[in-house]
Amino acid sequence: MSKQKSHSGAKKRVRLTGSGKVAVKRRGRSHLLQQKSKRQKRLSRTLVVDGVDRKTLTSLLPYLS
């Protein structure tokens, strides 16, 4: 049986934490940070994915875990 292919867009955006959870980066932290409010910067921290989204990501990335 042939290997499954990982979704190349998803593998650039998803990573595993040390405890095995799936984490993604939110938008808005790459540039122009001095004019963004503290709230905007705080809300753009890393997000730990759970539930249905994790199931979707594991189907896109079969070799993630």
Domain ranges of the chain: 9-26+35-60
pLDDT at 15: 93
Instruction: Point out which residues pair with 48 in neighbouring strands.
Output: 23
pLDDT at 46: 93
pLDDT tens digits in sequence order for the chain, 65 residues long = 899 999 999 999 999 999 999 999 999 999 999 999 999 999 999 999 988 999 999 899 999 87
Whole-prediction pTM value?
0.76
The token pair at 28 is 């808005």
The token pair at 65 is 């875990």
Sheet with 22-24: list strands edge to edge.
Answer: 14-16, 22-24, 47-49
